[in-house]
Structure 1
Amino acid sequence: MKLFVTGGTGFVGSHVLQQALAAGHEVIALRRPGSQTRIPLDTEEPTWLDGALDGDHREALRGVDVWVHLASHTPNPPYAPLDACLYWNVYAPIKLAQQALQAGVGRFIVAGSCFEYGRAAEGLDEIRTDTPLAPTLSYPSSKAAASQAFAGFAREHGVQLKLLRIFQVYGEGEQASRLWPSLRLAARSGADFPMSAGEQVRDFVDVVDVARQFIRHLDFDAHPSPKGEPSIHHIASGHPQTLLAFAQHWWAHWGATGKILPGAMPYRKHEIMRLVPHLDPDTLHDHA
């Protein structure tokens, strides 16, 4: 299968490239000139296409079976202003998707975020794929706008589209300021780890498993998405836990000698206390 991938040098994208190449797919990966993958690739390199997301890439898109969009603008706090997030997370990828359509591509996969649900998740034991989107802050708002824009694009043009909303991903190649890498650094250095009270409930999913689920969804025949009817899927582990329980698990795993200090830091502004997805039986079987 021939793939065109955006965001291949990012955290999730690097792992998707790794698994796509290992599975024997032909991959064209768009990247900013000079950017490198977050993890070393164990396989051969993809065919790199140096350029901007909003450039003209119609020639490279010819003969592509599936367009996979993983690029995202400022997915970690502090987020860029809303206008920049809307440009790079909505306008630029839609422009590129239109080029793919002109080149004959009919199958699209777009990475989304659990934070698109925002305040709609409050009071819900599980978030369903039809839960309304009520994001807070600029980045989640732009991703929610992108979901709506891509869904409209699929309906208008009668193409197959999967929106894959990723829950709390962690693992190798993750930005150093995020929870799991920060926790590992403190554990290995013998330092204490100050954190919030840690009562937030999340579905933590290893980035390797996230990539595996993306590769699984490349098969539009085994996991269909009707033409003109976009489908939404949750990319998660099915094992929710509090941030504190997650931290304590890894603290013990690394044999840390310091102390975790829950409550030493305040919650972030607009903190969502529970983000737990409903997973369909097929997805649950995939994790069995």
Structure 2
Amino acid sequence: MSARRALLTGASGFVGAALTRRLLADGWEVHLLLREGSSSAGLPPEGERLHLHRHNGDTLQLIDIMRAAAPEAVFHLASLFLATHKPEDVTRLIQSNLLFSTQLAEAMAACGVRHLVNTGTSWEHYEDEAYNPVCLYAATKQAFSALLRYYVEVHGLRVVTLKLFDTYGAGDPRPKVLNLLKRVALEGSSLGMSPGEQLMDLVYIDDAVQAFITAYERLADGRQQNAMEEYGVSSGNALPLRELAALYAQVSGKPLAIAWGGRPYREREVMVPWSTYQALPGWQPTTDLATGLALFHNAAS
């Protein structure tokens, strides 16, 4: 029996790289779609079941790549994330999150590829609203969902969008709050932070990857009730940043010198995560926060 075939975008990112490794471990043939110039460091080497394709920005070239890959499903994780943007960032945000994403859907339609696991963000729901983007990045995610409706209605795509909360895990190189805490713990340095009352909702990387697998299975098994579905990928156990830091200190065995209130909250800080999401059927996180923090802290930097 031939291996299932996937085309995956965003493999140079932390979550995308982890999903790549999981698909390979599960026996998939994986085709990675990378921008010209994107690093492939940290990815497994190309081989019989792993193929790298470089996209030059052209829609017709992307159609050729899609035709060559002939995937059963597309996992779309590529995006440009900016918590805040400057005027000079607008073009990059639109190109990465709207133009490229629409080219991807166009290529799927042209090649008869129907199953898409798309990636959104809980930041599309500031103050728990049906739609209120925290930032322009979040707005581009919602804008692509609106564009996807055309491909669903006209070309028969079937889509599950996973709206991620914060993800973390061993080997995470991203400049996020846990890496700040890890540096303080290892170096004994001090850190000025906001007052720390915002709730943090962290999902361990293995659980986040399983959500993508579960979403694909929902598409493949025909369990989807609607052609476009979206689900929140949440730990279900948000806690204040201050408590997260205290737990990290306990897990690491290192005191953390944090000056709470040493810097203000950023504009449109998410104080309470989105709570009115629909849970992905058949999925729930299995790695508790203390275990996940220990795995994160003990991993090589």
TM-score by length of 1: 0.85
SS of 2:27's partner is coil
AA at the equivalent of 1:69: H
AA at the equivalent of 1:10: G
Counterpart of 1:70 in structure 2 is: 77
Pair 1:23 & 2:26 matched: yes
Pair 1:47 & 2:51 matched: yes
Choose the corresponding residue for 2:104, options 96, 99, 107.
96
Structure 1 residue 234: Cα displacement: 1.0
Choose the corresponding residue for 2:182, options 181, 184, 190.
184
AA at the equivalent of 2:38: S
Deviations 1:18-74 (A, max 9, x none): 111111111100113453357454996721112245552223313211011100013
Contact 1:238 1:279 in 2 (8 A): no
Choose the corresponding residue for 1:196, options 194, 197, 214.
194
Structure 1 residue 117: Cα displacement: 1.2
Counterpart CA distance in 2 for 1:205 and 1:42 is 28
Please identify which structure carries the higher helix content. Answer: 2
Is the deviation greater in 166-175 or in 258-267? 166-175
Counterpart of 2:296 in structure 1 is: none
Counterpart CA distance in 2 for 1:50 and 1:148 is 27
Counterpart CA distance in 2 for 1:257 and 1:187 is 7
Counterpart of 1:206 in structure 2 is: 204
Query: For structure 2, which runs of at least 5 residues remain unmatched after alignment?
Result: 288-301
SS of 1:8's partner is coil
Deviations 1:95-130 (A, max 9, x none): 1211121111011111011111124x1xxxxxxxxx
SS of 2:131's partner is coil
Q: Percent identity?
A: 23
Counterpart of 1:124 in structure 2 is: none
When residues 116 and 254 of structure 1 are mapped into structure 2, their CA distance, relative to the original with a 3 A threshold, is: same
Pair 1:144 & 2:149 matched: no
AA at the equivalent of 2:228: P
Mapping 1:112-123, distance limit 5 Å: 112-119=120-127, 121=128
Contact 2:73 2:115 in 1 (8 A): yes
Contact 2:232 2:280 in 1 (8 A): no
Root mean square deviation, CA, Å = 2.6
Structure 1 residue 257: Cα displacement: 3.3
AA at the equivalent of 1:225: Q
AA at the equivalent of 2:9: T
Contact 1:10 1:37 in 2 (8 A): no
Mapping 1:82-93, distance limit 5 Å: 82-93=90-101
Query: For structure 1, which runs of at least 5 residues remain unmatched after alignment?
Result: 122-130
Counterpart CA distance in 1 for 2:116 and 2:167 is 22
When residues 54 and 88 of structure 1 are mapped into structure 2, their CA distance, relative to the original with a 3 A threshold, is: farther
Counterpart CA distance in 1 for 2:187 and 2:112 is 52
Structure 1 residue 208: Cα displacement: 2.2
Aligned residues: 277
TM-score by length of 2: 0.82
When residues 234 and 148 of structure 1 are mapped into structure 2, their CA distance, relative to the original with a 3 A threshold, is: same
AA at the equivalent of 1:270: R
When residues 202 and 149 of structure 1 are mapped into structure 2, their CA distance, relative to the original with a 3 A threshold, is: farther
Pair 1:224 & 2:229 matched: no
Is the deviation greater in 270-279 or in 91-100? 270-279
Counterpart CA distance in 2 for 1:153 and 1:43 is 32
Contact 2:184 2:257 in 1 (8 A): no
SS of 2:144's partner is helix
AA at the equivalent of 2:111: A
SS of 2:92's partner is helix
AA at the equivalent of 1:8: A
Counterpart CA distance in 2 for 1:265 and 1:92 is 36
Contact 2:98 2:143 in 1 (8 A): yes
